[in-house]
Amino acid sequence: MGGSWSRDTGLERGDGRFPRGLPLRLFAYIVAGHVLAGFLFLLFSVGAG
């Protein structure tokens, strides 16, 4: 239990390379954040009108 947590913490490795899934995870978080922000903007725009 919990053995996979100690492998990659999301920080840089010793050789200066980023972990493999970091760019994909970052892209997914950016897209999800923009979708959420767009939804909130639409919600407030419709509510104000």
- What one-character-per-residue DSSP string does 15-43 give? TSPPPTTHHHHHHHHHHHHHHHHHHHHHH
pLDDT at site 40: 98
pLDDT at site 11: 60
The Cα 49–Cα 47 span in angstroms is 6
pLDDT at site 23: 93
Which residue's entry shows tokens 């899934």?
Answer: 21
CA 14 to chain centre: 23
Reported pTM? 0.57
* Structural domain spans, the chain: 18-49
The tens digit of pLDDT for each residue in 1-49 reads: 555 555 555 565 566 777 889 999 999 999 999 999 999 999 999 998 7
Q: Is 36 in contact with 29 (CB distance < 8 Å)?
A: no
